[in-house]
Amino acid sequence: MLTIKDLTVSIHGKTILKGLNLDVKEGEVHAIMGPNGSGKSTLASVIAGRDLFDVDKGEITYMGRNIFDMPAETRAREGLFLGFQYPVEIPGVSIANFMRTAINEKRKHLGLDPLTGAEFLRVMEEKKKMVDIQSKLASRSVNEGFSGGEKKKNEIFQMAMLEPRLAILDETDSGLDIDALKVVANGVNKLRRKDNATIVITHYQRLLDYIIPDFVHVLYDGSIIKSGGKELAVELEEKGYDWVKKEAGAGNAA
């Protein structure tokens, strides 16, 4: 579904990602962990199509296509979803209107008829229940005046509405209390299917108690220095990142 080869990315001449490789297949959940500043959010942004960055080398293939041939909105319509670390406030644009436009642009792209108002409302009700969202939320402006937890829940709600093939959740757990964390994780788990995939970017192991990953990768200084199963997350929680860094350093030296 997603193949990243030797990806090297810089911003204002500073290299952030240094020859990163990753392979994500349908039905898989990948967790990307790593200390601050290792390039986790940059990776998410580049995949989603943020044009602040220069891609110096390497390639990303999404659903068999070169991802860089598609602008951000095409990637989204092709089923890519980025859950933002810092969801943006859009005053005056209601969530319902926003989602209806997004869904219908996607449907148009896929050659489907737009959802009627009634159909849309039905889908929205269903998804609101799925992610345990209060009914009033949909009529509010996107993220405006939302608490941190509400913003993150709203990201998961949008994900539920858009039913992505590949969802990338960038630090969706940061700033959440345990109850909100459970709601978010629950939403993600309910949306899990055999034909979609999820990349969870996180700092802490605790989210991975609720979203069980198939693979855990450690991103450090712009590349993935260690990959393993879900037990790697536990190990990282217990021992920190230093041992992985040392191991990687030793590997490089050898």
Partner 1 sequence: METTHTTLMKEKLLELYHKEQEAIRGNATPMVNRIRQHAFSRFRDNGFPSIKQESWRFTDLTPLLNTEFVFDFSNQSRSMDVDKIFTCDVYDLDTFSITLLNGWFVYKHAPLTRLSNGTIIGSLAKAMEVYPDLVDQYIGKAVKTEQYRMAALNTAFLQDGLFIYVPEGVNVDKPVQLINIVNAENPVFLQPRHLIIADKGAKLTLVHCDHSLTHKVSFTNTLMEVYAEENATVDHYKIQNKGRNSALVTNSFFHQKKGSRLQSNIITLNGGFTKNIVDVSIDGTNCNSEHYGLYLVDSNQHVDNQLNINHLKAKSHSNQLYKGILDDEATAVFSGKVLVSRHAQQTEAHQNNNNILLTDDAKANTQPHLEIYADDVKCSHGATVGQLDPEAMFYMRSRGLCERTARQMMMIAFASEVVQKISIEALQKRIHSMVEKRLRGELTICEQCVLHCNSKEPTTFNIDLSKL
Nearer to partner 1 (CB atom), residue 35 or residue 114: 114
Identify residues 35-94 at the interface with partner 1 (CB under 8 A): 48-50, 71-73, 76-77, 81-82, 84, 87-93
Amino acid at the residue 25: K
Nearer to partner 1 (CB atom), residue 142 or residue 248: 142
Residue 227 bridge partners (DSSP) = 217
Is residue 10 classed exposed, middle or buried when 0-12, 13-18 and 19+ CB atoms within 10 A define those classes? middle
**Residue 121 near partner 1 by CB under 8 A:** no
Q: Mark residue 194 as left, alpha or beta (left: phi above 0; alpha: psi -120 to 50; beta: remaining).
A: alpha
Q: Which helix H or strand E contains 11, and what residues bound it? A: strand 2-11
**Residue 26 near partner 1 by CB under 8 A:** no
- In angstroms, give the least distance from the CB of 216 to partner 1: 25
Nearer to partner 1 (CB atom), residue 91 or residue 194: 91
**Residue 123 near partner 1 by CB under 8 A:** no
Q: Return the SS3 of 90.
A: strand
**Residue 112 near partner 1 by CB under 8 A:** no
User: Could you give the CA distance from residue 40 to residue 203 in angstroms, rounded to a whole number?
Assistant: 10
**Residue 162 near partner 1 by CB under 8 A:** yes
**Residue 157 near partner 1 by CB under 8 A:** no
User: Could you give the CA distance from residue 24 to residue 142 in angstroms, rounded to a whole number?
Assistant: 31
Amino acid at the residue 13: G
| Phi, psi for residue 253 in degrees, rounded to 5 | -60, -40
- In angstroms, give the least distance from the CB of 173 to partner 1: 19
Nearer to partner 1 (CB atom), residue 106 or residue 217: 106
Nearer to partner 1 (CB atom), residue 77 or residue 152: 77
**Residue 106 near partner 1 by CB under 8 A:** yes
Amino acid at the residue 59: E
- In angstroms, give the least distance from the CB of 41 to partner 1: 13
Q: Which value, to the nearest 10 degrees, does the dihedral of the CA atoms of residues 163, 58, 172, 12 take?
A: -130
Q: How many residues bind partner 1 (CB under 8 A)?
A: 30
**Residue 158 near partner 1 by CB under 8 A:** yes
Nearer to partner 1 (CB atom), residue 79 or residue 233: 79
**Residue 169 near partner 1 by CB under 8 A:** no
Among the listed residues 48, 40, 142, 46, the one whose alpha carbon sits nearest the alpha carbon of residue 94 = 142
Cβ atoms of 130 and 185 closer than 8 Å: no
Summarize as ranges the residues that interact with partner 1 (CB under 8 A).
Answer: 48-50, 71-73, 76-77, 81-82, 84, 87-93, 97-99, 101-103, 105-106, 109, 141, 158, 162
